[in-house]
Structure 1
Amino acid sequence: MALIVIDLGTSSVKVALYDHETGEILSTGRGHYRLYSEKQGYAEQNPEEWWTQTKYAIQECLHRAKISPKSIKGIGLSGQMCGVVPVTKSGQPLYNCITHLDTRCVEEIASLRERQEDVLRIGMNPITNLMSAPKLMWLKNNRKDVWDQAHKWLMPKDYIRLKLTGTFGTDSTDASATLFMDFNKKTWDPLIEHFGLDITKFPEVNLPYELVGSVTKSAAEETGLAPGTPLAAGAADMACTALGTRAVSEGNISVTIGTAGHLIAPIAAPDPAYAGRLYQFCHAVPDMYYAFGSIPAGGLSLSWLIDLLNPLLNDEPGNNRKLTYEKMNRMAEESTIGSKGLFFLPYLAGSVVPYADPKAKGTFIGLSIRHSYGDMARAVMEGVAYNFRQIVELLDLCNIPAHQLFFGEGGMNSQIWTRILTSVMNRGNAFLMKDKDSAPLGAAIIAGMGTGLYHDWNDAVNKLSQVETVPNDLAMAESYSKLYRIYEGLYPTLKTTFEQIYDMEGTI
């Protein structure tokens, strides 16, 4: 028997078919879509493009698998967090999705902060551009025509649910990223009405594993799926990633590097005391939660460096010195611990944790004529690892257990980077996921629990998410601990400089 999952990311949608017994990927399909930025701070996507590309990816996956769609026992959903899509009663989008990357909601954030005590008590999270609440308020304040016409608003993955099943709703993991969900009741809080929002426009909140509908006849015709195939509510991509990297109990820490870097720490309950320092969301596992820290340019920092250096290596016709990730990894291997005294602050897209500072800048410090491309590459890897250590040490300060590290996503294909992370973070031996596409695997586990193929969360996670050990080199860890103390002082020293550069940028 098989499970099929749809993972709606920021730049592409991935569809994967899993063997429910082994977790083996039987086939995949992928589609891509655009991010639109018509004005400063805007970051939107067209939901109809999501659906077009999702249909294509499903068809591609089924064609490659060469199995009967009737053998698929359930559908799982994973998706980018915090976006909002207003839709009509017939399911038509009224406005582009305002995504998690959007920063337009300055006035709305200020309004929320006027009731900060109440918002933090209910929402358990920092009041920032990331969250859904200011985006909804912006729609109501600036596109009243859209807000008034809307029957419901939906999260990104929930739009795909609507197209497949005809049902409106979301799940508790996504709802917990709005600032308006009561974490104890898993329902919307009346505080919504204080900000002029109609609570009836908010979707029903389901638990991730609940079966919320089945593929309609029309959706089956468009996708190739069998009509009647059951669909679980699914979860936010980070909640799915937690499952796909074994972060299902306190002390097991998920560390992933894709475009961004993410750290997920399961917790027994959210705590308002953490709200201004860490993000806290509902876990896919019932009655569990997770603390969350992000490095916006975690993996982007290395791809940026590769893109930056490639033209320098290819300035002659016929030159075949193009940098690849494999070459960059080998060059970083040839460098030394500490990159010969070169440090990198991975703030190409600002800083989130432990410093919430959108004005922070990516910075090389200590650069000299003796440094090579390999030193720069290793410094980038070390800088991201140091930032992860800062997040883990913040967990320590908040008394959140952080004992074992589990690595996933594409950046972890680099052996040198996983060894650096293991030694810099220094939490004993780490564990590397064999299937590094963590979010789709987590969505498959949720669908399996919902359809009754699995009966225990821990058993399903341990069965399907296989790992290999990354040994912690103690001598290397000791060296990195000394270098980390230097790194810790860099941001406080440069904070004012970053502000001056940021304020000047609009004038030059």
Structure 2
Amino acid sequence: KELFEITGHGLPFLFSLPRLLWFRENDEDLYNNIKHLLSIDGWVNYRLTGKFVIDDTSAAETLLYDINKRNWSEKILSEFEIPDQILPDQILPFGHVIGNILPEVAKSLDLNSQTPIIMSAADTQASLLGCGAFDTGSLGVVAGSTMPIMMIIDQPIVDPDQKLWTGAFINNLWVAESNAGSAGDVHKWFVEDILHQLGVPNPYEKFESLALSQPVGSRGVFADLGPSIFSAQSMVSVPEGGGFTFVPISYSLDAPANIASFARALLENLAYAVRANTEQ
């Protein structure tokens, strides 16, 4: 509970802290050789500039960051005996100029040696900016492999029920985050493992036309293929995979359920999940 109150996140292996603890317990030699802990964009920035830096949005996803103080949590570092020297040297704001590109890197990439490298943000927060969500109360749905749903808030409200995450955003703002689960993954599965295997040409375009050809309700076909209501508590265990599609007995000879109904039902599954997560 205290960890969640400090970080705004639970304890799945998605985050840096449990991964560090796993390596310390299972591969001590490797753990003792860790020199720096970086996000993916932080590693890219290091290769470009030689500097070890991170921004608030990525730091907040490590489980080592105090979401209230917007800095590394001394309490967590102490309690879990994580050496602070492996942390990035600075937490910089999104959009800050880290420095110019290293001369040797500029040469290898055929870039001007005075090219500035700009501090990036975590993927979903950056996507919010791309959607035009900048202000308190704005909400964005980022449909990728999974489907994060973020609302911008002006104070670090931590969910007492530990269902939603609280993350950092730009300009001293925060985000409340839910996630509808598999979205792009389910879509890709249907298109590539069903339509493509059936020999359908241009299967991604065909998927859209199939779904558009069906009425609301997908002729009674109901899909439950993964997208669902998010709870951060449930991420501490590994859920069983699977899903189902329910096809009703059709009493209409003119318009029975068909593969187009399945396509529409999949999209409606995504839409219902977005609605439910937005409401919570």
TM-score w.r.t. the length of structure 1 is 0.50
The answer for the alignment partner of 1:294 in structure 2 is 179
Aligned residues: 269
Contact 1:260 1:297 in 2 (8 A): yes
Equivalent position amino acid for 1:178 in 2: T
Contact 1:313 1:322 in 2 (8 A): no
**Which deviations, in whole Å up to 9, do the C-alpha atoms of 1:353-387 show, x marking residues without a partner?**
15836225322123546321110000000000000
SS in 2 for 1:212: strand
The answer for the alignment partner of 1:309 in structure 2 is 194
**Which deviations, in whole Å up to 9, do the C-alpha atoms of 1:262-316 show, x marking residues without a partner?**
2121011122235611121111x211111122233212212211223236533xx
Residues 1:333 and 2:212 aligned together: yes
SS in 1 for 2:63: coil
**Which deviations, in whole Å up to 9, do the C-alpha atoms of 1:23-48 show, x marking residues without a partner?**
xxxxxxxxxxxxxxxxxxxxxxxxxx
The answer for the alignment partner of 2:67 in structure 1 is 183
Distance 1:140 1:226 in 2: 42
Residues 1:342 and 2:227 aligned together: no
Equivalent position amino acid for 1:353 in 2: F
The answer for the alignment partner of 2:230 in structure 1 is 353
**Which deviations, in whole Å up to 9, do the C-alpha atoms of 1:409-455 show, x marking residues without a partner?**
xxxxxxxxxxxxxxxxxxxxxxxxxxxxxxxxxxxxxxxxxxxxxxx
Distance 1:130 1:149 in 2: 21
Equivalent position amino acid for 2:42 in 1: D
Residue 231 to residue 340, structure 1, CA distance change in 2 (3 Å)? same
The answer for the alignment partner of 1:67 in structure 2 is none
Residue 335 of structure 1, CA deviation:
1.2
Distance 1:380 1:128 in 2: 28
SS in 2 for 1:276: coil
The answer for the alignment partner of 2:253 in structure 1 is none
Distance 1:219 1:367 in 2: 61
Runs (5+) with no aligned partner, structure 1: 1-116, 315-320, 395-508
Residue 274 to residue 381, structure 1, CA distance change in 2 (3 Å)? farther
Runs of 4+ in 1 over 4 A off after TM superposition: none
Runs (5+) with no aligned partner, structure 2: 251-255
Distance 1:161 1:194 in 2: 30
SS in 1 for 2:159: helix
SS in 1 for 2:208: helix
2:165 equivalent among 247, 267, 279: 279
1:208 equivalent among 76, 85, 94: 94
Higher relative contact order (CA 8 A, sep 6+): 2
Equivalent position amino acid for 1:193 in 2: S
Equivalent position amino acid for 2:19 in 1: K
Residue 323 of structure 1, CA deviation:
5.1
Distance 2:184 2:94 in 1: 28
Distance 1:173 1:124 in 2: 12
RMSD: 2.1
